[in-house]
Amino acid sequence: MKQLFISDLHLKDLNTLTTQAFFAFLDQKAALADELYILGDFFEYWIGDDAISELSHNVATHLKNLKEKHKTDLYFMVGNRDFLVGKSYCEQAGMRLIEEPYKLPGTSILLCHGDAECTTDTEYQKVRQVLRSPQWQQDFLNKTLEERTAFAEQARAQSKEHQAGYELTDLNDDAVNALLEANQADVLIHGHTHKPGIRAVAEQGHKRVTLSDWDHEIWYAEIKDSGTPELCQFTHIT
């Protein structure tokens, strides 16, 4: 049994290096795995399953081919950028949509995107609470595609301006410990912070495995035969 974990690709366009690296990863790594878990911020933004683009269609086709040809089971968890990805698109791509947090069956390993545990960023948590509310999401999805696209583009521009010289807040140890203890787990695999590494969590002896973004170096987590998660580097071979 081989399980792979990735996050934070922030796919924007079909012809970017990141998208091509992802397709190569599917062919060279995921095709040899039993399971692939995508832990959020897969797309730069998502305005609804009805807004299919050339990028999202091609990504879904590649994923569905992976599942059908190589029998790799696919799992998807939303992030803070693509939290509106729903069951319709996941079914099109051959993925199972999983809720956060998700405990790997028969293990003490927990999966999440990671932004909910950045509790010291109180302003972000207030915004997150609004965006994740069913009422806000329903109101947003009732808007036209043009209105939703304009909102997403404005939010992207504001995010880039806000993040100039800004470093993402890291996960809070107390929040991580509470999450792991509530789910009877010892290890957390997550993304969001773009700081790949395996770190001890203060006091409780827990560990967290942080995945990377795909802007520069590409790191993914791998578990073989229910063993310990390891971070591995992927080099895009063209």
Q: 3-state SS of the chain: helix, strand, coil percent to 5?
A: 35, 20, 45
In this prediction, residue 205 has a pLDDT band, given cuts at 50, 70 and 90, of: confident
Q: How far is CA 128 from the centre of its chain?
A: 16
Q: Is residue 177 situated within a structural domain?
A: yes
Q: Is 8 left (phi over 0), alpha (psi -120 to 50) or beta?
A: left
| Overall average pLDDT of the 177-199 stretch | 96
Model confidence at 163: pLDDT above 80: no
Kindly state whether residue 182 falls inside one of the protein's structural domains: yes
What distance in Å separates the CA atoms of residue 156 and residue 153, rounded to the nearest whole number?
Answer: 5
Residue 149 falls inside a structural domain:
no
Residue 237 pLDDT more than 80?
no
Report pLDDT digits (tens) over 28-38.
999 999 999 99
SS3 for 229?
coil
Domain hosting residue 101, numbered range: 2-119+168-234
Please check whether residue 57 is in contact with residue 209, taking contact to mean a CB–CB distance below 8 angstroms. Answer: no
Model confidence at 96, in pLDDT bands (50, 70, 90)?
A: very high
Residue range 107-128: average pLDDT?
96
pLDDT at 164 > cutoff 80: no
Q: How confident is the model at residue 166 (pLDDT cuts 50, 70, 90)?
A: low
Percent of residues, the chain, with pLDDT higher than 90: 88
The pLDDT > 70 percentage for the chain reads 95
The Cα 26–Cα 36 span in angstroms is 9
Q: Where does the chain have alpha helices with state H?
A: 17-28, 54-70, 87-92, 122-131, 134-141, 145-162, 173-182
Contact 31, 62 (CB under 8 A): no
Q: Does the residue 26 lie in any domain?
A: yes
Domain count, the chain: 1
Residue at 10 is within a domain: yes
Q: What value does the mean pLDDT of the chain take?
A: 93
> Does residue 144 form part of some domain?
no
Report the CATH number at residue 75.
Answer: 3.60.21.10
Q: Indicate if the pLDDT at residue 168 is higher than 90.
A: no
**What span, in angstroms and rounded, lies between the C-alpha atoms of 60 and 93?**
4
pLDDT at 238 over 70: no
| Whole-prediction pTM | 0.95
Within a domain: 143 = no
Q: Is residue 62 part of a domain?
A: yes
Confidence of residue 198 (pLDDT cuts 50, 70, 90): very high
- pLDDT mean over 16-40: 97
Residue 203 binned pLDDT confidence (cut-offs 50, 70, 90)? confident
